[in-house]
Every structure is written in structure tokens, then in C-alpha cells.
Amino acid sequence: MSTHVFDEAIALQPQPDGSWLGQTSAAYANMVGPFGGITTAQVLNAVLQHPDRLGEPVSLTVNFCAAVADGAFTLQARPARTNRSTQHWAIEMLQDGQTVVTATAVTAVRRETWGVDEEPMPLCPPPQDVPLPSATAPMAFVQRYEQRAITGNIPSVWDGSGHSSLSQVWVRDNPPRPLDFASLASISDIFFPRVFIRRATHVPVGTVSLTVYFHASAAQLAATGTGYLLGQAQAQAFRNGFFDQSSQLWNEAGVLLVTTHQIVYYKQ
């Protein structure tokens, strides 16, 4: 069995001091440096692989402090507090001794409780009825995801005509790969910067901080398999150089797997 390119990209080598050594992946390159989603998955993987980990991911916040340079990086993941059923992690990614990412995560042993999905999956045509794009952006990471945009696709004409930042898209790994927490973390950052959609204007952007809440259990991820996820994203406010965007990811069965939020720098 050959390894999926995603697994190669998030692979980490344990170091004698308890830290991890990783490498950026050309397959997940963005315009400059790596796609934020793959960095997020690498950060989470330092927790997932940690011998002292308790339970499954519940919450993850990743702060992008500086551009990640192509090449090697070190990840330090420290359990700051371990309780009976929850665990709190402090994580840093370093390059040349400088912090390029700070992060925190919560893992937990989850038990079955009463539950309900209050945010309904929007009514959308099934993935097979939504065409693949006729053209895609040139960044390598875009080729790593099969995306079928239902609404709010990246503008084909940049004429400043946008009026809403809402996007809905079917998405999965390309080639398909059974969903797990690491790939779900990466897909949580798949949504184009909302300022592109809202303004149909190309401006410099960069995610500053990303938070992912995992509602899915490992069993629900296994049940999702290589199926499509329905992603939805929308901004709430654009103001003085920063905007937020909130997103949801459902599986085809309509289970809300993730709710995620980020704040993004923009210029002009």
C-alpha cells in the first residue's frame, strides 16, 4: 500500500528532547509558503502522535505568527494540564529558533450524551450534480482537494462586484483518503479568504488565527470515510485590516463534523 501524499506531508520524526521534526511539503504549497491547513494538521499531529495524549481532539487554535519557510521545522507539544477526562496542550512550531506558530489544543475522552445539531445542513445538490471547476488556481495545495463549488466560488472576473461572502462547496482529499482528525483539521482551512468573495477584488491576505471545534468522534470520521464534506463559510465583519470567517463542515449523511473560525489580515 502506498502512502497518501497527505500522510507524507504531516509526518513527524520524534527527537531525543521530546520535540518533533517535520518538513514543509511542496505538494501543499500555497502562493508563498505552505497552505495554512497543512500547517494546522502538522500542529495537531504533534498532539495526536504524543505518547501522553488523552482522548480525541475537541478544540484547536493555531496562530500564524510568521511566514513558514520551505524546509524543516521543529514542533514542541507540551501537555500543560491533564485532568481526569480532558487535557490541555501548548504547542509551538519553530524554524531557526524563531517561533512561527503558537497553538493550543484540548483533547478529551468523550462520553455519549444527549445531543442535537442545531445548525442544519443547507439544502444543496448532491456532489455528483455539481461540476468540477473548469479552471483552478495555480497553487499546489488546490490540486490536493477535489472541490465542487455550489455557490460563492472564487470570482472569475475581479470587478469589485461582490455582495455576500457566503460559499458552499463539496470537498474531499484528492486522491480520496479516509477522513481522520488531521485531514479534517486541514480541510477546516480550505475556504478561500472571504474578502475575495465579498469584494471580487484581489488584495494581500493571511490567516492570523484559526480555531477548530471538533464535534465528530473517531467513529463518525470512520463512517464518513472517503465521502465528500459539505463546507459552508461566511464572514461577519471586515474592518481596518482584519476580517473573520466562520465555517461548518458536514458529511454527506448530514452530521456536523466541525465548526471553525478564523481571523484574517487583509491589506487595503
Which residues are at the interface with a copy of itself (CB under 8 A)?
58-59, 61, 63, 65-66, 80-81, 83, 86, 88, 90, 92, 98-100, 102-104, 106, 108, 110-119, 164-165, 198-199, 208-209, 211, 213, 215-217, 234-242, 244, 246, 248, 256, 259, 261, 263, 265-268
What are residue 79's phi and psi, to 5 degrees?
Answer: -75, 105
* Whole-number Cα distances in Å, 208 to 21, 65, 175, 218: 23, 7, 29, 28
> How large is the C-alpha radius of gyration of the chain?
18
Tell me how far apart the alpha carbons of residues 35 and 25 are, in angstroms, rounded to a whole number: 9
CB of 77 to a copy of itself, least distance (A): 12
What lies within 8 Å, CB to CB, of 114 at 6+ separation is: none
CB of 248 to a copy of itself, least distance (A): 7
- What minimum distance in Å lies between the beta carbon of 209 and a copy of itself? 4
d(CA 142, CA 179): 18
Nearer to a copy of itself, 128 or 240 (CB): 240
- Please report how close the Cβ of residue 6 comes to a copy of itself at its closest, in angstroms: 25
Is residue 41 within 8 Å of 182, Cβ to Cβ?
Answer: yes
CB nearer to a copy of itself: give 23 or 213.
213
Minimum distance from residue 171 beta carbon to a copy of itself (Å) = 19
- Amino acid letter, residue 136: T
How far apart are CB 213 and a copy of itself at their closest, in Å? 5
Q: How far is the CB of 144 from a copy of itself (least distance, A)?
A: 27
Q: Closer to a copy of itself at the Cβ: 95 or 147? A: 95
In the numeric block, the cell 466541525 is attached to 258
Contacts of 112 (CB under 8 A, 6+ apart): none
Closer by beta carbon to a copy of itself, 174 or else 213: 213
Nearer to a copy of itself by Cβ, of 10 and 60: the residue is 60
Q: Name which of 25 and 95 has its Cβ closer to a copy of itself.
A: 95
Pick between residue 19 and residue 246 the one whose CB is nearest to a copy of itself: 246
Find, among 92, 104, 101, the residue nearest to 19 by Cα: 92
Angle at 175 between CA 58 and CA 67, to 5 degrees: 60
